Amino acid sequence: MLGSGTKITHSENAKRRIERLKQVHYLVAIVLFVGTFFFCSTYDTNFHLTTMSLSHLGIYKKIGFVWNISLFIIGITLMIESFLNMNKYMPGSKLLYLFVASIVCLLLTASITMDHPIHYYFAFSYFIGYTVGIFLFGLLLMKTDFRIGFISVVIAISTLVLPMWVLMWLHSYAIPELIHTALIFVWVSVTKFDAPYKNFIKRFGL
């Protein structure tokens, strides 16, 4: 009986560890992205945040591979989160294909530098595809989970409007790209920790 109880305990501990890993692995990716950005942008003295795109960091010969690997890891993380979100909120939905396709474009963006014109097409496809995916996700989810659906729609609109607005004023791609990335991580955080988010907004009567 003791041996059986021990097995159950080990099984429960394994499940808890998996759940914790699901919750924190993307936080590690965020820290990695932020750390890599500051390292690469500081190391590359020719990089100017207000006049260049983040892709310039990927062609700097001494640190380009570091930036591209970081971007690739971010893409894998978003891929995992897409599967987890769809299984959690919309099991079996074909919307997953849109998320997967857009993330594949991000992985290709990380794999093919801006020295090749196709890089820009992949980057644009990711930007639009993932944004539309979040918007449709929120629109469809509002029927069953209004709070998460509504904030998803708001974030999707923000990931389109805010970067475009900044681009019009600064004519810089790097800052809009950072804004887009930050909002993507905000959305992932909201869907990951949906219960605390709902409890928070309930305090305001929403």
pLDDT surpasses 70 at 206: no
Q: Which of 92, 108, 82 is nearest to 188 (CA)?
A: 82
Query: How sure is the predictor about 2, in pLDDT bands with cuts at 50, 70 and 90?
Result: very low
Residue with tokens 């932020």: 34
- Cβ distance 169 to 50 under 8 Å? no
What is residue 115's predicted lDDT score, i.e. its pLDDT?
A: 85
Within a 10 A sphere around the Cβ of 71, how many other Cβ atoms?
21
What is residue 6's predicted lDDT score, i.e. its pLDDT?
A: 46
Mean pLDDT rounded to a whole number for the chain? 85
pLDDT surpasses 70 at 3: no
* 38-97: pLDDT as tens digits: 888 888 777 888 778 888 888 877 788 888 898 898 899 889 888 988 999 999 899 999
pLDDT surpasses 80 at 100: yes
pLDDT surpasses 70 at 149: yes
Query: How sure is the predictor about 23, in pLDDT bands with cuts at 50, 70 and 90?
Result: low
- Comparing 136 with 205, which gets the higher pLDDT? 136
Burial of residue 103, with CB atoms counted within 10 A of its CB: 0-12 exposed, 13-18 middle, 19 or more buried: buried
Average pLDDT, integer, range 149-168: 94
d(CA 52, CA 46): 10
